[in-house]
Amino acid sequence: MTKTSAFPLRRTLLLLQACCLAMSAQAQAPSASAQLQQQASQPLRSGLDASGFDPAVRAQDDLFRAVNGTWLKRYDLPADKARFGSFIQLRDLSDERVRAIVEDLASRPDNKRPVIGSVEQKVADYYSAFLDTVAIDRAGLDPIKPALARIEAIRTLAELAQWQGGMQGRFSLPINLNVSPDVLQPTVNRVSANQGGLGLPDRDYYLKKEDARLAKALKAYEQYLETLARLSGEVDSAQVARRVLAVETAIANAHWERVLLRNPAKRNNPMSVAELQEKAPGFDWALLMQSAGLGGQGRLNVGQPSTATAVARLYADLPLADWKLYFKLRTLDHAALSLPQAFREARFALRDQALTGIQVEMPRWQRSIAELNGALGEGVGQLYVAKHFSPAHKARMQALVDNLLLAYRESIEGLDWMSPATKAEAQLKLSKFISKIGYPEVWRDYSELKVLRADPIGNAERAAAYRWQRQLARVGKPVDRKEWSMTPQTVNASYSPTLNAITFPAAILQPPFFDMAADDAVNYGAIGAVIGHEISHGFDDSGSQYDGDGALRNWWSEADRKAFEGIADKLVAQYNGYSPIAGKTVNGRLTLGENIADLSGLQIAYKAYRRSLQGKPAAKIDGFSGEQRFYYGFAQVWRGKARDEWVLQQLLSDPHSPSEFRANGTPINHDGFHEAFGTQPGDKMFKPAAERIRIW
């Protein structure tokens, strides 16, 4: 493996592709190999979109705008988008591909329609049902009336607890149950309980009323609640909205702040149901568990004990009638996209216009794809990868992952702030990483899920019930470490601390993240940095609290942990100084994990790139050195624009920094960047070597 991963990336991947083609189609192997050899001999292109560069901006002053400045000036956000960039570009491409597959199935005549019960039938009918707004408008409130009637029938707090147990997994409740690996025994699935129940993105929208932007959003939410109440037949809709908003504000007051939620040790609070009842009296927790199908569970983990205590008190203190109104409007909000036009328009006015700045609603077909992916994601994924992802792609990505892991191993060994004993633990964790590429080995079985062509609300309800039953089936059982939490058509990547696994879905493995026709430098700066980013999450401020088996365990010496936290504090201070919109700054503590992953991931990708050169200088392409192209490739990935409303929401609730600061805030700490561009004192991105932040 060492020799293979030292090859230039392009040559390695071409060899892998030739191997895969030979195994899958031996008769055509000679011509395929000849074609690949011809491709390898052709002049490399940089893989950079120079049309987006701004020649008036130097990389030494602003890497983000040097690479993206002209694009930023020329590109106007479409009216139906809150933001646009590489991830959205590929998401739209993925959606278009899924749309073509699904609409082909849905448009077939009756005698050629997919077999009832097949994945193809369920995918086509789920999509068609959600897409048919004429039928939705004609049905009115009839499809949702049974759900509203169940809420109206609640007469006691016990019945309220029972109803919430039955609604687990449907939408966010004040306390949500789920089943996941036990952080102390990660080979076994356990029950956990966590805070939820807010209709706005974060507690600050309710509590920081002195902030004009947040106050405006809160007013829009109150108007939305009033509209939901009026459309559902409430006589005094304004009063109903005020009562429901009072309930949500009380819940928001009980919520932990997001920075605190990032600490897994504080979220680890195992206790029995009886102990929870003692700590949080006023609500029947045992009945909640039993109604959810979790009766008889000896223990559960309570993520935010003080929230559970406060919410239990609220159940006892607030009028039952207010709770029923709250759950009624939560139900209507959750179903609004499948309700008549007036509900859809009200939802758009809040969730798109007020909260993200969008002016025109996303096409209905694309919303339908999003709903479909949530309900039958791996069913769609099967169809997607059959058409748009080959075994060769998987092999290509595995070569990159192996190379980055090797570079990480070497980097850990060279750390000057970590003791040998802690290094050994870090190396052990790294050796146990699991990589998931493209698509899962075993597809999810949807045979028990019933989908009807003209029942969008029923389909969504049955899909939620199916997902919840899958969770129940896991309780107390061994963790399936091969299971995926993302679909193949998702444009993203992830790290799971309890599985110690990195995941790269098929849809992200294409330009601008990975371009087979481009030279090594840009690919390492783009997808290489993504791989390094996800590996680095295993060693960020949160992920580093888990060991290689996924257990929450302190494997650090006290001195090493203190040194790590001291370096991390410098990164917090750096990002606290960035202001994407007037009067608002990045929360360096909230974004610390992602910023560490960006910093370390790019550093490791650069080391891997340099290692691939085997001591030889990279050829100049388009007048740029290989090292310059590496950083340009990284900055190109973060090309993007966003509306202020969306940025505000991001600053409050998203652990990722805005794109500009990911593109600039990371390289400024890299020796390689300063060497590649020859930065000098006075350059805006110059940072003295002694002040550069280096973690992994």
Cite the residue boundaries of each domain of the chain with CATH code 3.40.390.10.
Answer: 1-42+390-442+482-696
- Quote the CA–CA distance of 174 and 165 in Å, as a whole number: 12
The pLDDT value given to residue 39:
39
> Which structure tokens are listed for 214?
């947040």
**Looking at this protein, which amino acid is placed at residue 644?**
D
What stretches of 488-548 adopt beta strand conformation (E)? Answer: 494-496, 501-505
Q: Does domain 1-42+390-442+482-696 have CATH number 3.40.50.300?
A: no
Using an 8 Å Cβ cutoff, are 192 and 294 in contact?
no
Interior CA angle at 361 toward 660 and 75, to 5°?
A: 35
The whole-angstrom distance between residue 481's C-alpha and the CA centroid of its chain comes to 19
Count of C-beta atoms within a 10 Å radius of residue 249: 16
Both tokens of residue 259?
A: 């920075």
List own/partner pairs for 99-106 with CB under 8 A and 24 or more apart.
99/365, 99/366, 99/369, 101/380, 101/383, 101/384, 101/387, 102/127, 102/369, 102/372, 102/380, 102/383, 103/127
56's tokens: 């008036």
Query: What span, in angstroms and rounded, lies between the C-alpha atoms of 213 and 355?
Result: 10
Q: Distance (Å, rounded) from C-alpha 343 to C-alpha 351?
A: 12
Helix ranges (H only) for 437-548 are: 456-474, 520-523, 529-536
Residues of the chain under the 70 pLDDT cut: 1-44
**How are beta strands 494-496 and 501-505 bridged, if at all?**
antiparallel
Please give the torsion angle defined by the CA atoms of residues 591, 595, 598 and 603, in that order, rounded to the nearest 10 degrees.
-170
Check if the beta carbon of residue 596 is closer than 8 Å to that of residue 392.
no
91-130 burial, b at 16+ Cβ within 10 Å, e below that, comes to beebbebbbebbeebbeeeeeebbeeeebbbbbbbbbbbb
Q: Give the Cα separation of 172 and 572 in Å (integer).
A: 31
Burial (CB count within 10 angstroms: exposed 0-12, middle 13-18, buried 19+), residue 675: exposed
């910023």: which residue's tokens? 595
Cα separation, 635 vs 664, whole angstroms:
8
Hunting for tokens 């652990």 — which residue is that? 655
Residue 421 CB coordination number (10 Å): 12
At 397, the amino acid letter reads: M
- Mapping DSSP to helix (H, G, I), strand (E, B) and coil, where does residue 171 land? coil
Every domain of the chain with CATH number 1.10.1380.10 lies at 142-339
Amino acid at 133: T
* Furthest CA-CA distance within the chain: 77
Q: Are 338 and 457 a contacting pair, CB within 8 Å?
A: yes
Cα 64–Cα 68–Cα 69 angle in degrees, nearest 5: 95
Cβ atoms of residues 354 and 645 within 8 Å: yes
CA gap 257, 261 in Å, rounded: 7
pLDDT for residue 34:
37
Check: CB of residue 316 under 8 Å from CB of residue 161: no
- Secondary structure (DSSP) of 41-103: HSPPB----GGG--TTS-TTT-HHHHHHHHHHHH----TT-SEEEHHHHHHHHHHHHHHHHHH
Q: Which of 180, 183, 179 is nearest to 550 (CA)?
A: 183
| Tens of pLDDT, residues 559-580 | 999 999 999 999 999 999 999 9
Q: What angle do CA 553, 557, 561 make, to 5 degrees?
A: 85
Q: Which pairs with CB-CB distance under 8 Å and at least 24 residues apart come from 204-212?
A: 204/652, 205/252, 205/652, 206/248, 206/249, 206/252, 206/253, 207/249, 207/252, 207/253
Taking phi over 0 as left and psi of -120 to 50 as alpha, with beta for the rest, 191 belongs to beta
C-alpha 164/C-alpha 565 separation (Å) is 41
Closest CA to 195 of 164, 173, 162, 166: 173
Element (H, E) at 227: helix 212-231
Domain 142-339 has CATH 1.10.3720.10: no
On whether the CB atoms of residues 332 and 324 are closer than 8 A, the answer is no
- Enclosing H/E stretch for 160: helix 157-166
CB 161 within 8 A of CB 276: no
- Distance between CA atoms of residues 498 and 190, nearest Å: 12
What pLDDT is recorded for position 44?
61
| Class of residue 223 by CB neighbours under 10 A (exposed 0-12, middle 13-18, buried 19+) | middle
Instruction: Give dist(CA 118, CA 115) in Å, integer.
Output: 6
Strand order in the sheet with 501-505: 434-438, 501-505, 494-496
Q: Is 211 exposed, middle or buried (0-12, 13-18, 19+ CB in 10 A)?
A: middle
pTM of the model: 0.92
Rounded Cα–Cα distance for residues 303 and 256 (Å) = 10
Q: Helix/strand/coil (H, E, C) string of 658-674?
A: CHHHHHHHCHHHCHHHH
- Do 605 and 524 contact (CB within 8 A), yes or no? yes
